[in-house]
C-alpha cells in the first residue's frame, strides 16, 4: 500500500499479517456448523468461504487446510449425518429374512437420518431450494454427499449397492428419500406422523424393486438347486 513520507516520496508497505487468537481465547467454531447457520440466514450464494472463516473464528489459510470449497463442507456435513445415522441404529443384527424386514430396516435408517438432520432443518430448506441454481455444487453434493449415504442406508438392510441391481436400488432409494425429505421439511409435528406415513407408503411401493436380484444371482441360485 503506497504512503507519503516526509519528503513527499511514495513508499510501499506490506500489509500486516493477521494476528492469531491469543492463547486461552474463545475456541474456533466448527466451520460446517458455521456454514449451515449462514446458509439459513443468508442463503447458499451469499455464504462465502470468507464469511464461513469469519464466523468460525479461523483465518482463511486454516480453513483452506481443512476444506477446499463450500461443497467440501457440504460433503463433510453429509459424512457427519451418515455417522450419526449409523450410531443411532446401533450394532448390526442378522440380515432381514423377508421383504418386510428389509422395509423396516430402511424405514429406521431414513428416520434416523432425519433425526440427525433436524438441528439444521432451516438450512436444508434453503439448500433444497437454491442448490439447483448452482449445477456444479449440486452435482458435487449428489456424488460426494448423497450417493455414499444411500450406500450406507442400503447396507443397513443388507442390500448390495454394487453392479447394475445396486445402481437401480440406489436410484430408487434416492428418489424415495428426496421425496420424503420434502414432506419432512414441511412436517413440524412432534411425532412426524405425516413423514412416517409417506415414507412407509413409498417404501412399500418400491419394495419389489429394492429387493430384486440381478440375473447373475438367479443363475447362481438355479445352479445351486441343481447340484
Per-residue pLDDT, 141: 86
pLDDT of residue 77 exceeding 90, the answer is: yes
Residue 40 is assigned to a structural domain of this protein:
yes
Predicted local distance difference test score (pLDDT) of residue 150:
95
Between 220 and 155, where is the model more confident?
155
The total of other beta-carbon atoms located within 10 Å of residue 151's CB is 18
Q: Which residues pair with 11 in a beta bridge?
A: 3
Q: Which helix (H) or strand (E) holds 4?
A: strand 2-4
**Does the residue 25 lie in any domain?**
no
In-domain check, residue 9: no
Residue 4 has pLDDT above 60, yes or no: no
pLDDT tops 80 at residue 19:
no
pLDDT given at position 26: 55
Residue 21 in this model has a pLDDT that exceeds 80: no
Write the CATH number for 118: 1.10.357.10
Joined grid coordinates for residue 227: 447340484
pLDDT in the model for residue 18: 42
Residue 23 lies in a domain: no
pLDDT at 166 over 80: yes
Q: Is 24 helix (H, G, I), strand (E, B) or coil?
A: coil
Q: Is 210 exposed, middle or buried (0-12, 13-18, 19+ CB in 10 A)?
A: buried
CB 25 within 8 A of CB 36: no
Please indicate, yes or no, if residue 225 is contained in any of the structural domains: no
Average pLDDT over residues 3-31: 53
Q: Note the pLDDT of residue 203.
A: 96
Average pLDDT over residues 10-33: 58
Q: Is 103 contained in some domain?
A: yes
pLDDT digit string, tens, across residues 82-131:
999 999 999 877 777 789 999 999 999 999 999 999 999 999 999 999 99
Pairing of strands 10-12, 2-4: antiparallel
Q: Domain residues for 121?
A: 31-213
Beta carbons within 10 angstroms of residue 34's beta carbon: 22
Least-confidence region, from 4-13, 43-52, 66-75, 166-175:
4-13
What pTM did the predictor assign? 0.80
pLDDT tens for 191-226 read 999 999 999 999 999 999 998 864 434 333 444 455
- The total domain count for the chain is 1
Q: pLDDT digit string (tens) for 169-196?
A: 999 999 999 999 999 999 999 999 999 9
Residue 15 within a domain = no
**pLDDT at 227 > cutoff 70:** no
Q: Give the residue with greater pLDDT, 35 vs 15.
A: 35
How high is the mean pLDDT of the chain? 85
Tell me whether residue 219 is in a domain: no
Amino acid at each position: 500500500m503506497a504512503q507519503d513520507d516526509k519528503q513527499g516520496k511514495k513508499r510501499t508497505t506490506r500489509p500486516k499479517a493477521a494476528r492469531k487468537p491469543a492463547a486461552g481465547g474463545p475456541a474456533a467454531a466448527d466451520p460446517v456448523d458455521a456454514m449451515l447457520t449462514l446458509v439459513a440466514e443468508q442463503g447458499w450464494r451469499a455464504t462465502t468461504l470468507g464469511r464461513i472463516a469469519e464466523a468460525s473464528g479461523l483465518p482463511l489459510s486454516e480453513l483452506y487446510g481443512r476444506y477446499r470449497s463450500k461443497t467440501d463442507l457440504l460433503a463433510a456435513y453429509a459424512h457427519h449425518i451418515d455417522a450419526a445415522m449409523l450410531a443411532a441404529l446401533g450394532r448390526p443384527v442378522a440380515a432381514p429374512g423377508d421383504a418386510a424386514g428389509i422395509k423396516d430396516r430402511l424405514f429406521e435408517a431414513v428416520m434416523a437420518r432425519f433425526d440427525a438432520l433436524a438441528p439444521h432443518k432451516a438450512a436444508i430448506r434453503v439448500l433444497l431450494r437454491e442448490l439447483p441454481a448452482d449445477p456444479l455444487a449440486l452435482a458435487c453434493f449428489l456424488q460426494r454427499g448423497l450417493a455414499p449415504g444411500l450406500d450406507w442406508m442400503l447396507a443397513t438392510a443388507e442390500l448390495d449397492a454394487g453392479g447394475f441391481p445396486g445402481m437401480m436400488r440406489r436410484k430408487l432409494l434416492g428418489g424415495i428419500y428426496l421425496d420424503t425429505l420434502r414432506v419432512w421439511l414441511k412436517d413440524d409435528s412432534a411425532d412426524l406422523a405425516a413423514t412416517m406415513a409417506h415414507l412407509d407408503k413409498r417404501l412399500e411401493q418400491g419394495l419389489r424393486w429394492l429387493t430384486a436380484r440381478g440375473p447373475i444371482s438367479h443363475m447362481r441360485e438355479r445352479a445351486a438347486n441343481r447340484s
